[in-house]
């Protein structure tokens, strides 16, 4: 069964460093998302991406965050200058035609900022 | 702002029992509601999706219902098994394209 894949599965980084989390959505999907889950808290929406541009973003998604689809398969989340509070599990997700379809999530990337 | 609440936060039941997990949401203007399963340290596995026009969906031993007007959904698990132990998350998709998640119910099935 097709799946959303994410790399790395776990990354430890020093505060202030830049991090890029990578995702390969399901191949024929058109909408892409990033969500995050701080340990012990709810899964939170960060950003949605469609037709090579941001569709929606939350208040969490400030100027230190950016997303990109550099080629036909990858979808990346960049955190420019990491803070301790960025430590979380980051989930990439994709869906087929529009948001009313099932949203498929990846296994997540654990980010630990020290 | 949409708020999603799940009760109970944790539930332990003996193997073989049927059980119900509850989800409520504050804004009934939703596109759909989705139930996910999350194993510790793992990703989110979609279990069932109910469109706003539907009342229920079934997959194997799982049945999810939706009462949009009252802002409630239930996930019914029949004949529970130890492999069902996980955290179950409810999420609603709003017209603003955002999935809003509940905090989940941590389910433990006792062999």
pLDDT 10s digits, A24-73: 999 889 899 999 999 989 999 999 999 889 999 999 999 999 999 988 78
Are the beta carbons of B21 and B78 closer than 8 angstroms? no
Interface of A with B (CB under 8 A): 33, 35, 41-45, 48, 55-56, 58, 91, 93, 99-108, 110
Identify any residues that bridge with A68 across adjacent strands, giving them in sequence order. A76
CB contact under 8 A, A100 and B31: yes
Total length of chain B: 111
Percent helix, percent strand, percent coil in chain A, to nearest 5? 5, 50, 45
* The Cα angle at residue A66 between residues A64 and A72, in degrees rounded to 5: 165
Close Cβ partners of A59 (under 8 Å, ≥ 6 residues apart): none
| Preceding amide of A8 cis, omega within 30 | yes
Residues 45-84 of B with CB under 8 A from A: 45-46, 49, 51
> Quick check: A105 and B101 CB within 8 A?
no
In chain B, the DSSP E strands lie at 4-7, 10-14, 19-25, 32-38, 44-51, 56-59, 62-67, 72-77, 86-93, 99-101, 105-110
CA A102/CA A106 separation, integer angstroms:
13
Which of the pair, A95 or B79, is modelled with greater confidence?
Answer: B79
Strand partners, A95: A31
- Residue with structure tokens 């949009």? B68
pLDDT band at B11 (very low <50, low <70, confident <90, very high): very high
Q: Give me the percent of chain B exceeding a pLDDT of 70.
A: 100
Contact A91 B42 (CB under 8 A): no
Q: Which residues of A touch B93 (CB under 8 A)?
A: 99-100, 103
Q: Do B101 and A104 touch (CB under 8 A)?
A: no
Note the pLDDT tens digit of each residue in B52-74.
999 999 999 999 999 999 999 99
With tokens 């301790």, the residue in question is A84
User: Is the pLDDT assigned to residue B91 strictly greater than 70?
Assistant: yes
């Amino acid at each position: 069964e097709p799946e959303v894949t994410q790399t790395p599965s776990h990354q430890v980084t020093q505060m202030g460093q830049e991090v890029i989390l990578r995702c390969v959505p399901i191949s024929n999907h058109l909408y892409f998302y990033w969500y995050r889950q701080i340990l012990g808290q709810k899964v939170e929406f960060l950003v949605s991406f469609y037709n090579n541009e941001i569709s929606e973003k939350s208040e969490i998604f400030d100027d230190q965050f950016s997303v990109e689809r550099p080629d036909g398969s990858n979808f990346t989340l960049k955190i420019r200058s990491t803070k301790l509070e960025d430590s979380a599990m980051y989930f990439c997700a994709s869906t087929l035609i529009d948001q009313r379809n099932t949203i498929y999530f990846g296994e997540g990337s654990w980010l630990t900022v020290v | 702002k949409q708020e999603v609440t799940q009760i109970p936060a944790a539930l332990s039941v003996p193997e073989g029992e049927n059980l119900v997990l509850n989800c409520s949401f504050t804004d009934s203007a939703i596109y759909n509601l989705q139930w996910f399963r999350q194993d510790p340290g793992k990703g989110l596995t979609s279990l069932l999706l109910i469109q706003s026009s539907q009342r229920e969906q079934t997959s194997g031993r799982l049945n999810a219902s939706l009462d949009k007007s009252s802002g409630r959904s239930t996930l019914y698990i029949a004949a529970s098994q130890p492999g069902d132990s996980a955290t179950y998350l409810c999420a609603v998709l709003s017209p603003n394209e955002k999935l809003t998640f509940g905090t989940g119910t941590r389910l433990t099935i006792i062999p």
